[in-house]
Amino acid sequence: MSRPRNVGRRKRQEVKFEARADKFEAGRAELPEHLPEELEIELFGFRIYMIHDKKQIRKNLPGVDLIICGHSHKYEVGRLGNTVCLNPGSCGPRRFHLPVTMMLLTLYPAEHRLETERIDCLDIPAMGKGTLDTDEEMKIPKQDIYRLVRQIMKEVDAGRRIAEIAARNHIDERFAEQVSRMYLTHPGVDVDGILDRMERKNL
C-alpha cells in the first residue's frame, strides 16, 4: 500500500496563492483580482480541476482525475461522468439551514485512488437570526435555495402577490418578501446576486 498524502499538508511552495487576512471581512470578502475563474493543477500524480460553480464546468477535461467545486455550500461526493466531483461545503457562517462542513482529502499516488472524510464544523450563527423587526426567527426553507429563489423571481415576473408565492412554494412569507424585494429593487440582479445580498445582510 502506498503512503497516503494528505492534501492539507502539502508543501506551501507547490501552489502559490497569497491572501491577507486583513483584506477580508465577514460577508464582504474582497478577493484578489488575479485569481483565475478556473484552475488545473497536478498534485501527487492526480490532475485536479477547480472551479466555483459546478454548472460552469467545461465539457472537455481530458486527463482530469478530480473536480473540486463550491457555490452551493452543500457537501457533495459524486461523479460527473467518469470523473470524481467533490464539493467540501462551506466552513464559514452557516448559510440558511445548510450544515457547516469541511472535507479532508487523502490521495494514494501509487494506487491512484483517493479517500474523502467529511468534517462537521462548529455551528456558526446562521442566516435568518437577529435581523428582522420581530424576535421570531424567520423560517428558511430547507429545499434547494438556488432553485427556490429562481422560482420566486419567476412568480414575481408573473405578477403574483407575496402571500400567493409563499403558499405555492410552502415557504415563510417573510422569506418570499425578502427575495421579491431584492429582485424588484435591484434591476438585472440574478439568483447569485440575491443570495449574496441576503448573506451580506445576514438574513
Query: Do 67 and 84 form a contact (C-beta atoms < 8 A)?
Result: yes
pTM: 0.53
At residue 71, the pLDDT reads 85
d(CA 64, CA 41): 9
Same domain, 112 and 46: yes
| Structural domain containing residue 59 | 5-120
At residue 34, the pLDDT reads 75
Same domain, 16 and 104: yes
**Considering all CA atoms of the chain, what is the largest pairwise distance in Å, rounded to the nearest integer?**
63
At residue 143, the pLDDT reads 55
Q: Which residues of the chain have pLDDT under 50?
A: 9-28, 124-136
Same domain, 87 and 26: yes
At residue 173, the pLDDT reads 85
The residue count for the chain: 203
Relative to beta strand 5-6, strand 101-108 is antiparallel
At residue 113, the pLDDT reads 94
pLDDT in tens, 72-92: 888 999 999 889 999 998 877
At residue 26, the pLDDT reads 41
At residue 63, the pLDDT reads 93
At residue 30, the pLDDT reads 56
Can you read off the three cell numbers belonging to residue 132? 428582522
Q: How many domains does the chain have?
A: 2
